[in-house]
Chain A
Amino acid sequence: MVLFSPATVPESPSSAAGHLLGSIIGPCALLITGIYLLAFSGNVEVGKLSSTDRKVGSACTFLGLVWLEGMHWWTWTPMLNGEINPYWLVFWPTFLLLATGLSSGAAFSLRYLGDSREQESNFMLVISSLTFTLTALGMIIDGPNISAETFRDSFWLAVSDIFGLGLGVGLSILVFAFVIWIYESSLPPTKSLDAPSQQELVQASSIVAKHIGGEQE
């Protein structure tokens, strides 16, 4: 229903969300499928995919990336009623910003937490540098539909979005912890048992003595 909303209710501003979903579902699916095929056609112990799957995975990843890039650097930008879909200007800078940071984090995690993972770390640094460069280029060079200035504005709005979301989510987790803490601290303390009596200790030691020593065997 959301996907078809641009056709069924074109005058509704909220149909832009359905339009964006329809526009990015193709490249995102290609990218995820490609990464899945590439990961599981490598050296995995169980369920290894064939070398053909590896080629298909490489092609899917490449096509997905080219498709997404074409939406910024070529004429494939999601357009709605002659204007750029406003949610594309939310999705694209947010994705680039998070991808460059998380890939760099993954690269350093491999290097410092892993054992002899320098090669893998370098690969992730290449991905981080690539997304970094694409973002920086977007801020400097005009695309056919998105000017550098528009992209810079969207970039700042994406930064505000990420900080705001992070703070809001963090705040709600704090409230959640606070509610649980209040409830737990209002519970009466659990009753602790009295120390064992002399008779109980004698009984326990006789039971223990029966099970150690091994004289009977």
Chain B
Amino acid sequence: MSDLSKTWKIIIMAISAPPLLLMIIAVILGDDITSQAFKRFGNALITGYTFSAGLLFINMFFYADSRHRPLAPLFGMLLATIFGSMITLWLLSQGDLLLEENGSVRAQALSNIVRILVSLVALIMAVAVAIGGTFVAITSRPKRKLFEEE
């Protein structure tokens, strides 16, 4: 195994270790919310798919621009997005399968969209803290000499 791939493995482990430890603590403290967690996972998966397929469909216009504007990939991605939306609505209308504390399919779909936006805000803030903190740490140190001649 090359040194670089070993380094990346260590970094990926470093990213996942604290959340995994927190999950172990939560398991030890013991609450059973499997059903709610499954519903949330399902809702996040279908909403995440549809949301990001929609964004990638828009991105497909840029790809089409670099390829003499073919219609086939645009149509393909549009179909994938519509498929995601249809599956979302169908799964939400299957009674108690994915409905959380919302009375209707429309309310659940809206709640999913709002939640994905709130999660994105949380992600942006976490990235700002991690990357911003790294910059603060780097720039707070006295300037280093790269060469003795400096």
Contacts and interface: CB of A to CB of B under 8 A. Distances in A.
Contacts of A39: 132, 135-136, 139
A44 B141 CA distance: 10
B91 interface: no
Contacts of A99: 125-126, 129-130
Interface in A50-108: 87, 90-92, 94-95, 97-108
B19 A101 contact: yes
A188 to B, nearest CB: 13
Contacts of B12: 105
Contacts of A3: none
A179 B76 contact: yes
A192 interface: no
B44 A164 contact: yes
B80 A179 contact: yes
B138 A156 contact: no
B89 interface: no
Interface in B17-57: 17-19, 21-23, 25-26, 29, 31, 33, 36-38, 40-53, 56
B1 interface: no
B126 A112 contact: no
B10 A108 contact: yes
Given A42-B139, A165-B48, A183-B70, A94 B119 contact: yes
Contacts of A90: 115, 118-119, 122
A180 B15 contact: no
A171 to B, nearest CB: 5
9 contacts: A13-B107, A17-B118, A94-B118, A101-B16, A101-B19, A106-B133, A120-B141, A136-B25, A165-B119
